[in-house]
Structure 1
């Protein structure tokens, strides 16, 4: 067990009583042999709320556009501004957590997220909505980093798999259930409720955090790495902006190419700075752990698979099969429930067998399930699609948390905060990059299909206009579905490569020398 430096007046704990945060000791009588369960559930609540907001807002975009009377390009900035703000704040989250104390940073973030959500609900035009979304993104980016760091300070190493299985409900279950909840609120109530619903959750979560989480003091005196922050903020902002706007600006346009170049150079500069400064913003030396680096690669693969399907399948159902927002959410709900059930199970499997086999089996199921989605057509039944998504969800539920847990467990305890920040940056960036690349492929293939269709129709000038229009619409629908099928094949191939990489993960439970938490705050 690794401990931080204790104060001169602190008595060292005896071997029979591993040191734990004060609130954890106080709760041991209430939680039996697992005093970390209740604090963990408090962290899961905040994590669930922050991640749910990303997917639930996407459902409301069309309604916001109608109410505000703006163009499609304008309304997309509601999501784009949030993503860009996250890219700036996530790297500094680890420093804030250490400077303020993880418990205090978590409480302040929950309150701030609730306030930002309320402001978004009161937005009166597109400009105010974008501004309030940026304010909401600041605490929204801090919550996941601080929460993950706290998990590793509260939970004994030999139980970290089971704990991360519960924690994973916020990462995977929330975005999957978002379309259902968001679809219902948008279709039957009011889109503003998707923001107002965060307010009571944030307040209750903050109260629970004060009661159940350790409110340790932060580390005074640690300087803020300004140069490192400017470098990584510039890099992530440039890359995310290029990926978000590449489709509309053109992937080979000067603005996109300049942003991509600036982003890569800024991130390279960030690495150089972090290796030279005495107190780095994020310790890039965590990448010296091959297990952690491999876990980030696999998390990127899973993020592309998760968010790619969560984005394109609802698009297929609503654009090609005419399903409403709420009905689309209901069709996607079973896969979310399966992932929610399997997350804790996967955590227990990790504790016993390590990350390799749940990752290999889960990624294999995910690859096969995604490959089976390559046969989607306009005639595909909803029941068939529902079961294919459930089958994929089994793989996602088995693989995600063992991979993430195995990677962070390989990092020295004093570097967990930085590792969790890199983990969140990888998830956000990989999902954005994956969606951008897949969307570009979709648009390119549709454009090619449309060009071929136009040429064919030009050869039959005497065809009635109505018949031409109906024929063109039908061909466009088929070309859209064909493009979706091709995207599923690409995603399946990427996931299959992940299966090969997963064989390099550790097999067997993690070695441990004590039953105490991974890190103990003095």
Structure 2
């Protein structure tokens, strides 16, 4: 199943005269506009449910499928970066993203909107690892904390600002403007990239293992699909557990094959480096907490506290702004003080925030919600980029592309699984409450059921983050 192009590896790329500024600017613009779309629809989900007459478990696919496609595509990017130049991949990614955005903006039905999101995700799946790998190549280890902090400003601020921006647009315009405003930004990114972006990668053109690509797609796809459908059908449904079994089996086969073949599409030998493995676990847990909360909180604000989409966005704005400003700061702190001083307090802060979310109800004030949300996003900013930088710093140069691909893959899959898992837990908690209710059609009981569902979901999140605290204790500074 291997296809090989007999081309000798290129000479090592000369980085001595490379201009870092224009490259980073081009990458940041493209990454911001694509990553923003991961959460841009979060406040619009209730409106889209009414527009297209679909259920919560169906509408969640607009978020889940975006992260799923990115997660499925990213493992292949390590291979693509050895076959195509940085410029070719970046421009292809942004053009794909632009096409998907246009389709979504003018979608006449839910199916068209979903297709547009899928095409957008193909673009995003290419951009994230290209950007991370470029940073590792053009910056030495002692400067990567600051550089990754700047990238973190995009990776963290873009999805965090999504709910706020969508709330403002939904209340003042309509949901299609969520895509209209992205079109000119994508065009600017393409123009800047075409003018300034230079290649920084070495083209070696290794063998392409088609079977590995198929196994990766089926594995990650089946795994996330089963979690997504579990909220609607239940774990006892044949469709759910069959796709889970197929996904897990494919992933196991994929892992075994990557360890055996000469040119793996995803070199899992990166996990031989202990600090890399520990940081991967932390990132998976934090991403589950972040994306699930970004999905649940607007639903709670609009469904239980009965605030508008605009006000819901404003409530989430302070945390989003703090999160963005903290990213460069945490990068500099990482360069100066090392990983433990930054990461462990960050994980603890995330756990405290998740614990405070438990028990929120119709009497909870918006000030209290803002406080918890700020704590959560500050904690996440202390964890995300320092953890990734520390993990990637452990790897030799030939594994950079594979390390960034693994991080990006597991982030997206964790986000998709976390969203699906928390939505599933919320739905089951809501159903359990209404089953025991004497008058399940009473509006008061419906709100109480929603509150019970959110309580169940946040309790699960708190338990998961406690595990991350234990893992973070094993982080240490290495040379």
Checking the alignment, whether the CA contact within 8 Å between 1:298 and 1:502 is kept in structure 2 is: yes
1:407 aligns with 2:391: yes
TM-score (normalizing by structure 1): 0.84
Question: Which secondary structure does the structure 2 equivalent of 1:56 belong to?
Answer: coil
Aligned-pair CA distance for 1:399: 1.4
How many angstroms apart in 2 are the aligned matches of 1:482 and 1:270?
40
Residue of structure 2 in register with 1:464 after alignment: none
Change in 2 beyond 3 A, CA 1:45/1:294: same
1:502 maps onto 2:433 in alignment: no
Change in CA separation of 1:131 and 1:503 when aligned onto 2, cut-off 3 Å: same
Query: Offset at 1:62?
Result: 4.1
Matches of 1:218 and 1:91 in 2, distance apart? 18
Report the alpha carbon displacement of residue 76 of structure 1 after superposing the two structures with TM: 4.7
The alpha-carbon distance between structure 1 residues 449 and 115, as it changes in their structure 2 partners (threshold 3 A), is closer
Equivalent position to 2:76, from 92, 98, 107: 92
Q: Cα distance, 1:281 vs. partner?
A: 0.9
Greater shift after overlay, 116-125 or 144-153? 116-125
Aligned equivalent of 2:159: 175
1:413 Cα shift? 1.4
In structure 2, the residue matched to 1:231 is: 215
In the alignment, which residue of structure 2 is the partner of 1:267? 251
| 2: CA distance, partners of 1:433 / 1:107 | 29
Say whether 1:449 aligns with 2:437.
no
d(CA) in 2 for partners of 1:386, 1:130: 31
Instruction: Describe the SS at the equivalent of 2:358.
Output: helix
Change (3 A) 1:433 1:151: same
Q: Distance in 2 between matches of 1:380 and 1:65?
A: 26
User: In 2, distance between residues paired with 1:198 and 1:118?
Assistant: 9
Are 1:44 and 1:169, in contact at CA under 8 Å, matched by a contact in 2? no
Greater C-alpha radius of gyration: 1
Contact 1:21 1:154 (C-alpha < 8 Å) held by counterparts? no
| Counterparts of 2:383 and 2:67, CA distance in 1 | 25
Q: TM-score, normalised by structure 2?
A: 0.92
Query: Structure 2: how far apart are the matches of 1:233 and 1:272?
Result: 15
| Equivalent in 5, 11, 24 of residue 7 of structure 1 | 11
- Give the match's secondary structure for 2:189: helix
Name the CA distance, whole Å, in 2 between partners of 1:319 and 1:127: 25
CA distance in 2, matches of 1:238, 1:357: 38
Separation in structure 1 between the aligned mates of residue 451 and residue 277 of structure 2, nearest angstrom = 36
Preserved CA contact (<8 Å) 1:83 1:240 = no
User: Which of 303, 306, 309 is the equivalent residue of 1:325?
Assistant: 309
- Conservation of the 8 A alpha-carbon contact between 2:68 and 2:413: no
Instruction: Within 5 Å, give how 1:79-118 maps onto structure 2.
Output: 79-118=63-102
Q: Which moved more, 1:365-374 or 1:139-148?
A: 365-374
- Structure 2: segments with no counterpart, 5+ residues: 1-7
Correspondence 1:28-427 to 2 at 5 A: 36-68=20-52, 75-216=59-200, 219=203, 221-427=205-411
After superposition, give the CA deviation of every residue in 1:30-49 in whole Å (9 maximum; x if it has no partner).
xxxxxx34432332222221
Q: Which residue of 2 aligns with 1:23?
A: 18
Q: Which runs of 5+ in 1 are unaligned?
A: 11-18, 25-35, 458-467, 512-522
CA distance in structure 2 between the aligned counterparts of 1:362 and 1:147, rounded to whole angstroms? 24
The answer (yes or no) to whether the contact 1:123–1:129 under 8 Å persists in 2 is yes
